[in-house]
Amino acid sequence: MNTIINKIDFDKQDGLVPVITQEATTNEILMLAYMDKEALELTLQTNYAHYFSRSKQRIWKKGESSNHTQKIESIKVDCDNDTLLLKVIQNGVACHTGRKSCFFTDLKTNTITTEIEVDTTQAYGVVDTLYHTILEKKNDDPKQSYTAKLLQGDENSMLKKVVEEAGEFTYAVKDNDIEEIIYEGADLMYHCLVAMASKNVSPDRIKQELTRRFGIGGIEEKNSRQ
């Protein structure tokens, strides 16, 4: 296995190589992702696709949340030893949107060419689903999309909305108004996700940081930052 992995040139792109993933039976292109050396090792060991997420900054097994796994049929490397081609048996769908393939927008006509096959909201959770929806709206018409207007507009205006919503949430808590706490909390979370999306910071990285803090006392954690 080491001989095979040593053929791959991980040094060209900060330790990552692009991976094109195809459905083995139809040759339909499902997605493009990245692997580091460890992700490739796990893929070869388990016979299921593992990738390195640049947004999450960690290795993830495809389908770890949704169970839409990819069983490996073959792995090939290109002539420059810096790109991989996976042929897989796709369980469920490949795209987080619930579509079979991640390639569903026609740039010439700006139309969606593939229908959603699976509702992935429950699999990924509403926060992750909302975050990806925000990302998808980055380049939408700001006259038609409030999210696009925030992301394409003045950064200070976008960040002022976070401060404004945090203030309204605080007042709701102070007033002990449960309904307002929920409503303003949702507004605050949305605007925080918009700000995170502007910097391509996935909510998964917040979860990782919270996980890291488990077992560390609050005072100890704060002292560790000094």
Which of 79, 107, 135 lies at the terminal end of a domain, its last residue?
Answer: 107
CATH code of the domain in which 24 resides: 3.10.20.810
Which of 72, 107, 142 lies at the terminal end of a domain, its last residue?
Answer: 107
Bigger pLDDT: 6 vs 29: 29
CA torsion through residues 199, 126, 106, 141, sign? negative
Q: 85 and 136 share a domain?
A: no
pLDDT tens digits, residue range 109-155?
A: 888 888 888 887 777 788 988 998 999 899 889 999 999 999 999 99
- Asked whether the predicted pLDDT for residue 195 surpasses 90, the reply is yes
- Torsions phi, psi of 35, nearest 5? -130, 145
Does some domain include residue 114? no
pLDDT recorded at residue 103:
93
First to last CA, the chain: 44
Q: 95 and 58 share a domain?
A: yes
pLDDT recorded at residue 124:
78
- Torsions phi, psi of 112, nearest 5? -85, 125
Percentage with pLDDT > 70 across the chain: 94
Q: 101 and 161 share a domain?
A: no
- Structural domain tally of the chain? 2
Question: How would you classify the pairing of strands 58-61 and 29-35?
Answer: unpaired
pLDDT recorded at residue 217:
61
Could you tell me where the beta strands, DSSP code E, fall in the chain? 17-23, 29-35, 50-53, 58-61, 70-77, 84-90, 105-106, 111-112
pLDDT tens digits, residue range 12-70?
A: 778 999 999 999 999 999 999 999 999 999 999 999 999 999 888 999 999 998 899 99
Q: 135 and 79 share a domain?
A: no
Range of the domain at 58: 2-107
Rounded to two decimals, the pTM is 0.72
pLDDT recorded at residue 101:
95
pLDDT recorded at residue 222:
56
Mean pLDDT computed over 201-212 = 91
- Compute the mean pLDDT over every residue in the chain, rounded to the nearest whole number: 90
Lowest mean pLDDT among 62-71, 103-112, 201-210: 103-112
Q: 208 and 157 share a domain?
A: yes
CA torsion through residues 108, 110, 114, 120, sign? positive
pLDDT recorded at residue 120:
77
pLDDT tens digits, residue range 156-180?
A: 999 999 999 999 999 999 999 999 9
